[in-house]
Amino acid sequence: MTVRLPANSTGTILDTQTESGKDRQVVVVREPVRPAPTRSVGGRIIYVEDFRGIQPGFWNDGVGVAHRDCDIMFNGKPTMRLDPLGNTSGGSNPGRTAVTTGVITKRRIHDGYRHKFGMEMWFRMTSLNLTSNCWLSMSVYNRDGTNAHHARVWLDPNGNNVPLLGKILDGDASNTAGSAVWVTAVTSVLQNGAGTHTYDVPSGRLDRVGGWHSVKLVVDFVTKKYVSLALDGEALVDLSAYNMDTTASTGFAGMHHSIEFAATTSTRRFVNVANVIGTLED
């Protein structure tokens, strides 16, 4: 068998040729094309949840609902809608751990603090009433039977039609303060977080396309530190200076890849997420 690769920019061609008795030649080119819509590079994909299956592979632990949504499509496939159903939560931010009086939709994967993992997704601020009194966040966390170690990013619209902020939960500062301390790690420059192009049937707003943001968080469970954060088209932000947040927890020991959405008022609101991807980064 002969393998011929496409010419490079200078027209150079790499050829292989089978020699008699030496038929185990290997040419390693690069990773195969990633099979899911993504803006990120790197990382070996360990799952893709694109919601084409009728029953999502994510489970909601909160009092709201997370369900397959065929009203709001992305890339020709359904999405997942997160709706607190009017249930309310306290506080002024997503907190150190997920709020069970909202939506907590997750996939659990067992890994005993051995690797670096990434989690990414596309998301859309779909309905009205998403620019205040509610929080969308994405978390990768694990428990060891004694403690929980959380890496969280708060996807904060920061107001009406203003740049979206990616805030991370600062582990050291949160432990010192005894409450959640968030650090703005990245701003989606010149791109609005939420406020317009909404899909909200009762008010006659029927923009099914909306505007989609993308986010990817990478964490290291060996060192219990953040690694990086990517938001929309912004440059990858190095987060190696930040530790995960440690809280006492004897809950189920396992790693969670989670998306949370909670609100402080009962006004109906919902967001959509698409193409949730988990990656192994080492």
Partner 1 sequence: MALKLTVPMWTLVGDNEQSLGAGKTLTASNESREYPELGSFSKAIFLLDVSAASGTTPSLTVKVQGFNPAASKWHDVVTFAAQTAATGTVIAPQSSNLDFITYKAVFTITGTTPSFTFTLVAIAHVEEPAVQ
The residues that touch partner 1, with contacts defined as CB under 8 A, are 52-55, 60-63, 65, 67-71, 78, 81, 83, 85-87, 100-101, 201-202
d(CA 158, CA 162): 7
d(CA 201, CA 69): 14
d(CA 267, CA 179): 26
Q: Which is nearer to partner 1, 161 or 250 (CB)?
A: 250
To partner 1, the closest distance from the beta carbon of 253 in angstroms equals 17
Strands 245-248 and 213-220: unpaired
To partner 1, the closest distance from the beta carbon of 43 in angstroms equals 24
Element containing residue 98 per DSSP (H, E): none
Q: Which is nearer to partner 1, 53 or 112 (CB)?
A: 53
Q: Which is nearer to partner 1, 71 or 282 (CB)?
A: 71
Q: Which is nearer to partner 1, 57 or 145 (CB)?
A: 57
Q: Which is nearer to partner 1, 216 or 256 (CB)?
A: 256
Q: Which is nearer to partner 1, 83 or 156 (CB)?
A: 83
To partner 1, the closest distance from the beta carbon of 105 in angstroms equals 12
Phi, psi at 139, each rounded to 5°: -135, 145
Chain-centre distance for alpha carbon 119: 5
To partner 1, the closest distance from the beta carbon of 204 in angstroms equals 8
Structural contact between residues 130 and 157, judged by C-beta atoms closer than 8 angstroms? yes
To partner 1, the closest distance from the beta carbon of 29 in angstroms equals 30
CA proximity to 94, closest of 158, 164, 181, 160: 181
To partner 1, the closest distance from the beta carbon of 53 in angstroms equals 5
Q: Which is nearer to partner 1, 220 or 260 (CB)?
A: 260
Structural contact between residues 94 and 31, judged by C-beta atoms closer than 8 angstroms? no
d(CA 230, CA 41): 11
Q: In 3-state terms, what secondary structure has residue 244?
A: coil
To partner 1, the closest distance from the beta carbon of 188 in angstroms equals 29
Structural contact between residues 109 and 257, judged by C-beta atoms closer than 8 angstroms? yes
Instruction: Say if residue 211 is exposed, middle or buried (CB neighbours under 10 Å; 0-12, 13-18, 19+).
Output: middle
Chain-centre distance for alpha carbon 49: 11
